[in-house]
Each structure stands twice: as C-alpha cells, then as structure tokens.
Structure 1
C-alpha cells in the first residue's frame, strides 16, 4: 500500500478509535481533560519546535505571502457560502464556521501526500507557504475570535479599559502564545532546535509526537453530528473545495503559471482540511464565557468539531485523487471540470432545503383558504 495512503488511513483510524472510546470515556470532565492536555502541552510544544526549525530561504519568501492572501480571500468569501447553505447569519454556528473554513491544516492532510508524490523540494515550498497560514490561524483568527466575543458580550458591563486588560492577559498567559513568544526570541538570537540542551529537545519532541493522535482521538470522542448537520457541513466543505479550485484557476491564468509541479502544490495545499487551531480559539472563548456565565455564547464548539471531523476525510480523498492522477489536474479544463462537479454536488442540499421550505410555506398558505371555502359552502346550505 502507498505510504501516504497508509498515513491517511491511520489518521482516520484515530478518529474511529475516539468514536469507539465514547462508551468508555465520558463526554464531560474526561474529554475536557484531554482537550486541556492538547491546548496546554502538545499544541504549544508542536508550534515551538516548528518555529525553531524554520530556515528562511530568500527564494521562498513569496510562498507564505501567497498563502496568507488565500486565507484572507477565503475568509472574505466564507459568509456567502454559509448563508447559501442556510445557516443563520450572526449565529454561534455562523461564527464557528467563519473561523474554521478559511483555515488550513496541511500537516495532517497535505504534507504526507506532497512528500510521497512530489518530493522534498515541493514539501519545502509547502512548509514555507504554511508559515503564512500559521500566522493567519494563530494570530489573525485569534484576534477575530476575541473581537466577536467582546461584541457579543454585554458592552456596558465591560469598559474599554477592562477589555484591553483582559485581551492583554489572554494574549500573554495563553500557553500557545507564551511558547510562540519564547520561540521567536530564541530564533532572533540564532538559537535553533539543534542548539537546545538534548534533554529539553527530546522532551519537546515527545510532547509534539502525541499532538496528532490526541487531536484526532479528541475529535472522535467529542464529535456529535446529526443527520441534518452532516448534510449541511458536507455541502459547506464541498462548496469550499469548489471555490478553491476556481480561485486556483484564476491565479494560474493571472500569474501565468506553467510549472506543473507548482500547480499541483497549490491545489493540494489549498484543499487541506480545516485547522485545529481555530477550534483552540473557540474553546478558549467558550471556556471564558462559561466561567463568566454568559447567556448568549459566541461560538458552537460541537458544530466546530463536526466541521473538523468531516473536513479531514474529504480533503484527504480529494488531494489523494488529484495527485494520483499525475498531471491530469495541471490542465485548466480538468481543474474547471472538477470544480464544477464539486459545485453541483455541493448545491444539492441547499436546493432541496429551499424546495422543502417553499413547499412547507405554500402548504401553510393553502390550508386557511381551503377551510374558508368549506365554511362558505356550509353557509350556502
């Protein structure tokens, strides 16, 4: 079996293990304990190591800028996708989706395939592009999450001074941010992961190794997808992939990209699954609101988890299929065909939903008229 495929199956199996463990592990304190372990140890250690390993190449500086640009464009377009599939505007689900959909997790869904199919050079380019994505999901989306939280909270109860103070405390004392600040200071002095004491680098690496299994098991444990919600999220993710492919076509034509490997890198990277990091922001805000007994919650963590759970297999299947097809999807017509096909699949649920609502509304309007006619006929008798 192909190595990349084996890794992908392994990732999905971890989610299945989490689902199976639901019978043994309660969805309350035990699951929250696992989440705390991820957010306070595994995730910060992973980010810390990633930052200390970064070697900036002048020729690759453009890639993080392009990735950041993609994130911003997708963030701006996401509200239209969410509205189209029927999620209420400014609801907790809406805000959760708007935070997750523009994010990318190439480490889980993209890196293994690019390494297997396109080689080390392609992986280096993708890793550099991920720096722009990391900046977007770690910093920009975090600020967006806090902005929505404060907008949702009682404005009169929180003065501007107390808001700024709370924001500063959150930024400083958040474990992820503390690790990032320390890592950036070390990098600025030329200290890399190799220059750290051996015992410290071994400890950090071992903490980092448990990151992926813990995240995937946690998704399996915590996810609760209802039938209606499944179709809704599936439609949203398929439309996201469709929009991504159309955007890639636009970039290829505008910049006149002719190198086939670069086109495949762009497609694979931008089709990556939604990132866990925005969920970390959602969890932090939700925990804060729970502690403060906020009535109206800013986000819906269960809906966010459902997006994460479905996003990984969908992205894996799309990326694997595209890279397995060789140079087929380096042609504009092939990319447009796939994008159109995904768009047609993605709009099935919204169209059916709108038809159902229309028929339900029409039925309600017809019933009173029918009753009126019956009364008139009785009166005539």
Structure 2
C-alpha cells in the first residue's frame, strides 16, 4: 500500500474520532452513551472481530513471542514508573493514578481499526497476539495495583485472578487460537453472522474514542501529566530506536510490535480511578493526551515504514 492510500485511511479514521468528539460536545447523545458504546464493543463487536480474524488467517509460530514481549513491556513500564513517580513530589492519589494509568495499552478500541485498515487481517491477527499479553497487564497487574491505592487494603489475589480469567475478550483470544490451531470449522451461517457483527467494530471503536476525548487541563495536573506521558512512552521509544538499529522495518511483525509499544493508556484506567477514589480527571486527560501522541507515532511508522 502506497503512502497516499495509507494517509487517506488514517485521515478517514481521524475523521470518525473527530465526529465522536463533536457529537459529545453538541450533546446529541444521552448521558452514559459512551459507557454503553464501549461495553457493546468490548462484549460484541470486538470478540466477533477477533474470532473472524482467527477464522480467516493463518497463525505462525513466531506470533507467540508477541504476548511475552507485551507482558515484559508492561512490567518494565510499571517498574520504571513506580521508581520515578515515588521520587516526585505529588499527592498519594495522583501518584497511584499515574502508576495505574501507565500499565498496559489501548489495543482493541484504539489500534485495531487502524491496523485492519492499513495491514489487513494479517496485521490484525499479529496485533491480537500482542494484545493477549497486554490483557494480563491491564486486567491483572493494573487491577492489582488499584488495590494498593486504597490505604490499608490488601491485594485481593482471588479477585485479580477472577478478573483476568473472566475477561471476555481474553477468553475469546484463547478460544480463537484453539480453533485456529485445531482447524475446527464453523457452519457457514455462523461464520456469516460473526462476520457481520465484526463489520461495525472499527467505526464504533474510533467513534467511542472521540466521544471520550477530554482536553480540559489544569495547571496542577500538568506536572503529573508530563511525568505520565514520559514514562508511558519511554520504553516504546527505546524499542523503536533498537528496532531501527537491529531489524528490518519492512517486517510486519516489527511494525506491529513497535506500534503496540507506543499505544495509549487503556480507558480502563479511568474505571479503576473511579472505583478506588483516585484522580479521575487526571486519568481521563492522560488517556486523551496519550491517544494524540500515539496517533502521531502510528502515522509516522505507517507512512515511513512501507
């Protein structure tokens, strides 16, 4: 795909994000519409997309390194952030909000539509494997850390394990890999239904991202925001530099891995902040700002690494 075609697809996706933001500002949808949209994507269109991709794509052995790398990146970012944030003069709630918000990446809602548009099903299945490891970070590590944010509350390991095992998209990943490896065939009617449910995922995901965008920044949060953005993207930028020096940037696996390491803060960070009484405004703004940075990084990789 040439640069013009890639640029057109990126512009088209950005237009959908802007539309979501505009509709929110105009208050054309009822309050709580964003939550409904995100849950519909999480439990309907995203699982359908995952199954559809694995049913129609070949799974290569080298793909299984991606979940491990994703987990390593998540743990490394957490450790780096924990060390740096502890040394900065911030209130306790702000510190814990930052630590939770830097764990993991927004893959299903943010990256999938871009990846599918530019790299097709092969790119999507590669990113899906990266997201498998990311799910353990977002719904395991970050969820566990959220318990530490509540003073005097011990980590509830059973709740964390249950959260990870019961995360529906992760279960769909595992099931889809099993189906792909064993070669189980679905009836044509069922395959068609799954395919139809997967169609609106890209547009809905991008629209929902735009709907959740929040550009309201206060002076008191700028310092914390700068630290969060720095820690969030430092591992990915280091990986980017390493990849440029050591590997061919024409490899799809390398492209997907690099893009994955530069994805934004997952929206679930806002949910955890609400549940634990943390700085919800900061987590929301961090999601917004990291999305803008990720769009820039993703566009650069897609346009320059042809």
> Could you state the TM-score of these two structures normalised by the residue count of structure 1?
0.60
Distance 1:84 1:14 in 2: 40
Conserved? CA contact 2:67–2:131, under 8 Å: no
1:44 aligns with 2:47: yes
1:221-246, Cα deviation, whole Å (9 max, x unpaired): 23322133578647754675455334
Query: Which residue in 2 is equivalent to 1:311?
Result: 290
Rg (Cα) greater in structure = 1
Q: What CA distance in whole angstroms lies between the structure 1 residues aligned with 2:60 and 2:79?
A: 30
User: Gapped runs of 5+ residues in structure 1?
Assistant: 290-295, 328-381
Match of 1:219 among 182, 186, 209: 209
* Alpha-carbon offset, residue 26 of structure 1: 5.0
Would the aligned equivalents of 2:67 and 2:134 in 1 still touch at CA under 8 Å? no
Cα separation, 2, equivalents of 1:159 and 1:326: 43
Equivalence for 2:277: 297
For these two proteins, the number of residue pairs brought into alignment is 297
1:107 aligns to 2:112 (yes or no): yes
In structure 1, the residue matched to 2:98 is 94
In 2 relative to 1, CA 15–232 (structure 1 residues): closer, same or farther, beyond 3 Å?
farther
Give 1:144 shift.
1.3
Aligned CA-pair RMSD: 4.2
- Superposed, 1:184-263 pairs within 5 Å as 184-191=177-184, 195-228=185-218, 233=225, 236-237=228-229, 240-241=232-233, 244-250=236-242, 257=246, 259=248, 261-262=250-251
Unaligned 5+ residue runs, structure 2?
A: none
Confirm or deny: 8 A CA contact 1:25 1:31 kept in the other structure: no
Q: Shift in Å at residue 143 of structure 1?
A: 1.0
Query: Is the 2:21–2:210 Cα contact (8 Å) retained in structure 1?
Result: yes
* Aligned match of 2:19: 17
The verdict on how the C-alpha distance between 1:33 and 1:324 changes in structure 2, with shifts beyond 3 A counting, is closer
Give CA-to-partner distance per residue, 1:17-44, whole Å, 9 cap, x none: 1122122345633332222212221222
Distance 1:318 1:246 in 2: 13
Report the alpha carbon displacement of residue 103 of structure 1 after superposing the two structures with TM: 5.8
Does residue 3 (structure 1) correspond to residue 2 (structure 2)? The answer is: no
Cα distance in 2, alignment partners of residues 18 and 309 from structure 1? 13
Query: In the aligned structure 2, how far is the partner of 1:47 from the partner of 1:247?
Result: 26
Q: Deviations over 1:305-333 (max 9, x none)?
A: 44443334433333434564579xxxxxx
| Partner secondary structure for residue 277 of structure 2 | coil
* Counterparts of residues 262-281 of structure 1 (less than 5 Å): 262=251, 265=255, 268-269=258-259, 272-274=262-264, 278-280=266-268
Specify whether residues 78 and 2 from structure 1 end up closer, same or farther in structure 2 by C-alpha distance, changes over 3 A only: farther
SS at match of 1:130: helix
1:142 is displaced (CA, Å) by: 0.9
**Residues 99 and 282 of structure 1: CA distance in aligned 2, closer, same or farther (over 3 Å):** farther
Name which of structure 1's ranges 5-14 and 78-87 shifts more when overlaid on structure 2. 78-87
Q: Is the 8 A contact 1:110 1:269 kept in 2?
A: no
CA distance in 2, matches of 1:318, 1:38: 25
| Cα separation, 1, equivalents of 2:248 and 2:57 | 25
Contact 1:65 1:132 in 2 (8 A): no
Please tell me whether the aligned partners of residues 85 and 99 of structure 2 are also in contact (alpha carbons under 8 angstroms).
Answer: no
Counterpart CA distance in 1 for 2:148 and 2:41 is: 28
Q: Partners in 2 of 1:99 and 1:186 — Cα distance?
A: 30
TM-score w.r.t. the length of structure 2 is 0.72
Helix, strand or coil for the counterpart of 1:315?
helix
User: 1:69-117: per-residue Cα shift (whole Å, max 9, x none)?
Assistant: 44443343344566788765553531442224x565653455655x4xx
Tell me the residue number matched to 1:143.
140
Contact 2:98–2:224 under 8 Å retained in 1: no
